[in-house]
Amino acid sequence: MDSEVLILAPAFPPSAESGVYRTLKFVKYLGLLGWRSVVVTPSQDAYPFLDAGLAEEIPREIVVYRTRFPGLARAVRDWLDPSAMGSAAQGDRRRRAMARVVRRLNVLVIPDVYVTWLPFAVLASVRARRRHRPGVVLASAPPSSVAVIGAVVSRLLSLPLVIDFRDGWTVEPFYRGSGKPGNALRYWLEGKLERLVFRRARYVICQQSVMACDYARKYPIWREKLVVLNNGFDEDDFKEVKPFRFDRPTLLHTGYVEDRRNPEVFFRALALLRMRRRELLERFQVVFVGRVRADYPRLAAEIGVGDVVRFWGHVDHRTALSMMLGASALLLLTGRHPSELPGKLFEYLGSRRPVFGLAVPGGEAARVIEMAEAGVVAVGEDPGEVARALEDFLERVVSGGWNPGSVDLSRFTRRAATEALAGLLERVVVQGEET
């Protein structure tokens, strides 16, 4: 089927934000399945963190419309002007400061700061429609504003709409505690916007099944619109990537450590394990690669494991993959809600290294680890239980008792997810525009 899809992407390479990978891989594999993607995205000035290597992965046949982003992110970026920085480290500090300011100002707008992108995204979409023949609009959220922008573009261009929720909106378990003013009026207004989006959308894709169940309970009349498409890993990403050489056996965590995934319980479990099995723990180092809160290194030191835990800061995607391949095992931290399913877990599967996960039993992350036979899931609340599970896990790692490479992981790939998406888009186009 030779068709085109108009994709509204709030983050696209060279952005290094976590939401980039899902859209980038959809674009890649849709092209191999007969779909040409026309992407509308903000200019790179909107992105606080960049990875030039990701831009090289954009397929040549993809058309990308980069628009102005005149909202708070652009204004703050201009104010901080990294071109005036005195060093790379200073530039990193300025970028982090920009991200913090934007998050704080974000609470002043409904549903979020990306609502200021609406006129520019709409104008770019109109231009794209004149030059191309997309049969459907695909909007990637969060930010939630992009779902609203998708509904507006869909209506103006008379094209069917598909929403791809990487995380939920008002059903998100962290919604009320996310820094937004927790008043009833705001929740009511955002609920109205969400219903507008659901009404307009032909399908609403949910990145995991708990989100889909939550939405089915909230909007039973639109239950048939809900589709679950998990993240995945791209086998091509691991080709020609050489394993990183650590100087000792390493338990590795990659990616941003959010507040809801606080590592304190894990640090305390390490301290207990050191008291019980010092010789086992001291064979290993625990390395965090990626952004973390500034107080986490101090927390590890206060708990007494600062010499075991190391924080190496942000690295590009390819280096992170190399480190996964070179690690003895991989660490996954989740919060207290069963819906959490970090995208990094699927890349962990792709590396075929054993995984130690602190997750909710029976939750989404635990389900994937168990289905893939990828490792161990420990309850992330009691340091004693975590320490016992970690002791057994590390002993198996040392003895070579894990062999994740023997399991068929094809259902967890980006290609498999995109094949399902392509089928969905084809159904939408065949159904035609709603009257």
Question: What would the pLDDT profile of 395-420 be if each residue is shown by its tens digit?
Answer: 999 988 777 667 889 999 999 999 99
Q: Which residue has the higher pLDDT, 89 or 199?
A: 199
286 burial via Cβ count (<10 Å: 0-12, 13-18, 19+): buried
Greatest extent of the chain over all pairs of C-alpha atoms, in Å: 70
Residue 179: predicted pLDDT: 47
Residues 98-123: tens digit of each pLDDT: 556 655 555 567 888 788 899 999 99
In the predicted structure, residue 76 carries a pLDDT above the cut 70: no
Residues 302-323: tens digit of each pLDDT: 999 999 999 998 899 999 999 9
Confidence grade of residue 182 (pLDDT, cut at 50, 70, 90): low
What is the number of alpha carbons within 13 Å of residue 205 lying toward its C-beta? Answer: 27
Q: What is the domain extent for residue 366?
A: 235-411
Tokens at 86, concatenated = 């005195």
252 and 227 in a common domain: no
398 and 420 in a common domain: no
Residue 86: predicted pLDDT: 33
In the predicted structure, residue 391 carries a pLDDT above the cut 80: yes
Residue 231: predicted pLDDT: 95
Are 339 and 362 in contact by the 8 Å Cβ rule? The answer is no
Length of the chain: 435
In the predicted structure, residue 84 carries a pLDDT above the cut 90: no
In the predicted structure, residue 276 carries a pLDDT above the cut 50: yes
176 and 109 in a common domain: yes
Q: Which residue has the higher pLDDT, 262 or 297?
A: 297
Give ∠ CA 73-77-79 in degrees, rounded to 5: 120
Tokens at 407, concatenated = 């399991």
Confidence grade of residue 80 (pLDDT, cut at 50, 70, 90): very low
> How many structural domains is the chain composed of?
2
Specify the DSSP element, H or E, that contains 408: none
Mean pLDDT rounded to a whole number for the chain: 87
* Axis crossing angle, helix 317-326 with helix 344-351, rounded to the nearest 10: 50
170 and 46 in a common domain: yes
Tokens at 36, concatenated = 């040409």
Specify the DSSP element, H or E, that contains 288: strand 285-289
Confidence grade of residue 49 (pLDDT, cut at 50, 70, 90): confident
74 and 99 in a common domain: yes
CATH number of the domain where residue 407 is located: 3.40.50.2000
In the predicted structure, residue 146 carries a pLDDT above the cut 90: yes
Q: What does DSSP assign to residue 287?
A: E
- DSSP assignment of 31-69 equals HHTTEEEEEEEE-GGG-SSB-HHHHTTS-TT-EEEEE--
pLDDT over 70 for what percent of the chain? 86
280 and 191 in a common domain: no
354 and 222 in a common domain: no
Q: What is the mean pLDDT of residues 333-356?
A: 91
16 and 81 in a common domain: yes
Confidence grade of residue 339 (pLDDT, cut at 50, 70, 90): confident
Give ∠ CA 376-379-381 in degrees, rounded to 5: 145
174 and 115 in a common domain: yes
92 and 171 in a common domain: yes
311 and 349 in a common domain: yes
Cα–Cα dist 129/176, whole Å: 37
Cα–Cα dist 223/227, whole Å: 9
Q: Which of 331, 428, 308 is nearest to 35 (CA)?
A: 428
194 and 55 in a common domain: yes
